[in-house]
A and B are shown apart, each in its own frame.
Chain A
Amino acid sequence: NAGVTQTPKFQVLKTGQSMTLQCAQDMNHEYMSWYRQDPGMGLRLIHYSVGAGITDQGEVPNGYNVSRSTTEDFPLRLLSAAPSQTSVYFCASSTQQGGYEQYFGPGTRLTVT
């Protein structure tokens, strides 16, 4: 099992550009989430999904869109990048049967200039 994979690993965007961060998991987990990690603030939930076709907002959803058409994939879209979105983004998956512990991908470091 590859676990949770994320691409790209690094990305630089200009203000106003859009892009999609990819996330995939091969553990058949029903739950998937996106977090951002900023210095001194801990990991904060952006969006999450409890199953294919079902998504909801987390703590900091503004400026981001998600969709979940399959169990495996959960892409995060930045609609119009802003410098405030400079951060490290982590995707995670979990399952109720597994006790809810979340398994994280390696992260995407995004810089918006």
Chain B
Amino acid sequence: EDQVTQSPEALRLQEGESSSLNCSYTVSGLRGLFWYRQDPGKGPEFLFTLYSAGEEKEKERLKATLTKKESFLHITAPKPEDSATYLCAVIRDTGFQKLVFGTGTRLLVSP
């Protein structure tokens, strides 16, 4: 059974304090791994897609990396506006590409 586990559940950082969020996955035939940002009361907002081990994607202060077992979302010098829940999801390489989501990491960045 496909499984996605995110850690930590919650993370509190000071502004400028860099850190990483982890997403470990178990899926046969990975087609892609996705990172989303979700603000309270809103739908998930797409950030990155990673397709193969070794791949990296960057967007402003965020950088996503992928290995054969896990993905990291590195946050460099975060700002309070980076506070959100970050969701990881995977898609299998069979049939309709159903997303399997982790439960997310709640990030709070204090000024």
Q: Are B104 and A42 in contact, CB atoms less than 8 angstroms apart? A: yes
Q: Tally A-B pairs: CB < 8 A.
A: 56
A104-B103 contact given A56-B96, A58-B98, CB 8 Å threshold: no
Question: A31 an interface residue at 8 Å Cβ cutoff?
Answer: yes
- Near B by CB (< 8 A), chain A positions 78-105 give 90, 92, 94, 99-105
Query: How far is it, in angstroms, between the C-alpha of A100 and the C-alpha of B103 when the chains are bound?
Result: 20
CB of A92 to closest CB in B, whole Å: 8
Q: Are B96 and A99 in contact, CB atoms less than 8 angstroms apart? A: no
Q: Are B32 and A90 in contact, CB atoms less than 8 angstroms apart? A: no
A43-B101 contact given A99-B32, A100-B32, CB 8 Å threshold: yes
Question: B68 an interface residue at 8 Å Cβ cutoff?
Answer: no
- Near A by CB (< 8 A), chain B positions 55-111 give 87, 89, 91, 96-99, 101-104
Tell me whether chain A's interface is mostly helix, strand or loop, or mixed: strand
- Near A by CB (< 8 A), chain B positions 28-57 give 31-32, 34, 36, 41-46, 49
Question: A2 an interface residue at 8 Å Cβ cutoff?
Answer: no
Question: How many residues of chain B have a CB within 8 Å of chain A?
Answer: 23
| Nearest opposing residue in chain A for B4, CB measure | A42
Contacts of B43 in A (CB 8 A): 4, 90, 92, 104-107
Contacts of A12 in B (CB 8 A): none
Q: Which of A's residues lie within 8 Å of B, judged by CB?
A: 4, 31, 33, 40-45, 48, 50, 56, 58-59, 90, 92, 94, 99-107
Q: Which of B's residues lie within 8 Å of A, judged by CB?
A: 4, 31-32, 34, 36, 41-46, 49, 87, 89, 91, 96-99, 101-104
Closest 6 CB pairs of A and B: A104-B43, A42-B101, A43-B101, A42-B103, A100-B97, A104-B44
User: Known contacts A41-B103, A100-B91, A103-B46; can you find 15 more A-B pairs with CB under 8 A?
Assistant: A31-B97, A33-B98, A42-B4, A43-B89, A43-B101, A44-B101, A45-B98, A45-B99, A56-B96, A90-B44, A94-B97, A100-B32, A101-B49, A104-B43, A106-B43
